[in-house]
Structure 1
Amino acid sequence: MRTLFLALVALIAVLHLYIAWFEIFAWTSRGPVVFDTFPAELFPQTTQLAANQGVYNAFLAVGLIWALFIRDSVWQRRVAICFLGFVLVAGIAAAITVSLRPGLFQIVPSLLALLIVAFDRRR
């Protein structure tokens, strides 16, 4: 279970590195394709907002990566749970404010990882 948990933490970290890259560097090129329901003229006007949001996603990724390098298993789990909780909240906020689809990309993996660690802890 621990290996599966850490694999999910790593996967979620990579996802957030991608989201950070997307929001910081590819907002005007990839944004209109990904968010096709938004008007295309919106993206150049919101580049700074997206880049700022990308920095927050980078923080989430760095926190999850940090957890992977912690040697003490108790603290590793605690730090990972903390950042997974942040990801879960960010996903819920995205689902409410943007649309369900981008939120689910954060909600489902983080919730699954949190459930795995909760189940593993009971054993």
Structure 2
Amino acid sequence: MSTLAAIVIGLVALLHIWFLVLEMFLWDKPAGLKAFGQTLEKARASKVLAANQGLYNGFLAAGLLWGLSLGAAGTHIQVFFLLCVLIAGLYGAATASRKILFVQALPAALGLLLLALA
């Protein structure tokens, strides 16, 4: 695995840790409201669902970090979790916000490409 691939995968993991924090802890706070363009009322009504979504983002980050911790032996784990991130990003871009394509799907695709080239 190349150093650049590891850096990109690490950044994807950090992004998903940030998503976890936003969705689980900041959903109805100013940072969460701004990030997701929601009103306080909508955020309060969907807080439990957002926390669940944040937990799943944490699992994605954990999987990517697990794969990275194994070095070359973890490549298949990295590919699996990057594919999960990519599919979730494509689905989110199609159903929720086109912004998700660039924030989530594109970094995962870049990580997959770099792994393939390594």
Structure 2 gap segments, 5+ residues each: none
Q: Kindly report structure 1 stretches of 4+ aligned residues shifted beyond 6 Å.
A: none
1:8-87 paired onto structure 2 within 5 Å = 8-29=8-29, 30-36=31-37, 38-71=38-71, 73=72, 75-87=73-85
Aligned: 1:108 with 2:74? no
- TM superposition shift of 1:93: 1.3
Identity %: 37
Which residue, out of 82, 86, 89, partners 2:87?
A: 89
Which structure has the larger Rg? 1
- TM superposition shift of 1:31: 2.6
- TM superposition shift of 1:102: 2.5
- TM superposition shift of 1:56: 0.3
SS in 2 for 1:27: coil
- TM superposition shift of 1:41: 1.6
Aligned: 1:7 with 2:13? no
TM-score (norm 2): 0.92
Letter in 1 for 2:79: I
- TM superposition shift of 1:47: 0.4
Structure 1 gap segments, 5+ residues each: none
Query: RMSD over aligned Cα, in angstroms?
Result: 1.4
Deviations 1:59-116 (A, max 9, x none): 0000001011114x1x311110110000001111110121111232111111011111
2-structure distance, mates of 1:103, 1:32: 20
1-structure distance, mates of 2:94, 2:8: 24
